[in-house]
Structure 1
């Protein structure tokens, strides 16, 4: 496959946020097994054709099993807003793919679409929506958004959806066939349902 400016490039950094409390899952979500592999490995495999510059935002040393760089949140207990700020502050690239660690069915095609749309748009954030629900933890965040996230943390405004809707953004509307790829798996029941659907 021929590389293009938006695929197979080191102009994008990818950060997987692995800092959630995993209360509903009762174990570290990114390390939960799906079809014999941890969620985090499925996500990494989807990212690899786009960039090999992948960093995990986590303080959990158990993620060392995947052999990728890990950074800790600059500000603890600030949720996804804090995780994104940490990623943007750390990054040296304009485009930054930000993903949660609970989307094992994410695929390269959708991530490539987000990256391509972001590369030709000036919006600070490009993320996925199904027209009803937004998925700001499947998106590209420009480095230029770092101050917005720093200000949000300073003001203790830690709800991600209102924040991304307040700044310049574009939504990539997915079709019904793509919805399975963005499903968050947050509990044992949701994991069981996912496994049953795949049988």
Structure 2
């Protein structure tokens, strides 16, 4: 029997994201539902036209994204599964699915990475899966669709570990144990003291 370890996605984090998107969607719809004459009286005509041109596509995009997240939350299996044959990522609507160990050259654990600028920053922990640069894998990645082609071209696939109920260290320990004797290099990097 195959030994598998499964890490569940923290659903409440996706619920918070959906609520935040719903607030933005409400703001967009409130602007779009305001009569042109009322908006025109508050600003000049050019700004009114730009308001409609900006909020219409943004509203459609946010609405589609909310529906995508809701459909993802209703899926029975969400998370990260580590088996004897590979790593299966189903932690988001845009996850790639299974990556066999045979296609992986190395795995990096990256902690305390800071993303953002002077207006806002976020600290993240990630697991980066580096893909082997072999021509024989091209067809396999192409069968994964557009996302598979992008991953193959970039030669890396990143999994943010904050979306899981388990801690970063628990996930990393499980991955490190699963790749023993599989010719996969494992490294850990801490960016806490980096600028």
Same fold (TM over 0.5): no
TM superposition score category, shorter chain reference: under 0.3
Higher relative strand content: 2
Q: TM-score, normalised on structure 1?
A: 0.27
Q: TM-score, normalised on structure 2?
A: 0.27
Higher relative helix content: 2
Larger Rg: 2
